[in-house]
Structure 1
Amino acid sequence: MKRVKAFVLLLGMTTMGSVHATEYFRERTIIGAGVYFSGSKSILFVSIDGDKSGMSPCATTRRFAIDDSMPNFDEMVSIAMTAYATGEKSVDLAASKTCNHWGNAQDLLGIKIGSMVW
């Protein structure tokens, strides 16, 4: 059931396009990932290699974040940590232009590893 939810969420992200101003960071390697507990929520932080000039101005730390209020949080942690631990070089991230999950990190919407279209 969790996989079905993740697939539906991922499918929904592909149709967001211009409505939510999704930005994609393609063919990256995760160079850092961690989970931090703050107050009443857990937050996943992800840092990638490569050009970060396209990131939202609010992301002053040049990293991404998602908190556990999001329905795909557990899956995102799993995929991010797997990609980091294996040194996967084909990681794509989808992010909004906002920094709501953590004030200085761009909001992460989705992550995928390997050769697959969104």
Structure 2
Amino acid sequence: MGRYGEDLAARRLRESGMTILERNWRCAEGEIDLIARDGDAVVVCEVKTRRAAPFQHPMESLPPAKTARLRRLAARWLGERWIARYGNPPAGGVRLDLVGIVLPDRGAPVVQHVRGVG
């Protein structure tokens, strides 16, 4: 289910004009689902996929601790990948986005993309 949700999220980001730089980047501290480029900005994207049920909606599942961890991971990725390659931070900065996907019992998935969540 998670991989399917990440595929849908990557497609949504590409449709909005972004370029996917990496998927499932991992280090000892954790993982970033998707890293994309949106113009001059780097976008760290958390993907939450849920089945339609009375559980927490995916757009409500990014607590402050998770946001802080994603920011630390983004800083590490920038140092290891971006700055090592380009020498400078991205001109447009770094943004944290959330893509929430609800998989209904029937019909097409519902995909929501929120920019700048943290």
Same fold by TM-score, threshold 0.5 exceeded? no
Of structures 1 and 2, the one scoring higher in RCO (CA 8 A, sep 6+) is 1
Greater percentage in helix: 2
Given the two structures, how large is their TM-score scaled by the length of structure 1?
0.30
Given the two structures, how large is their TM-score scaled by the length of structure 2?
0.30
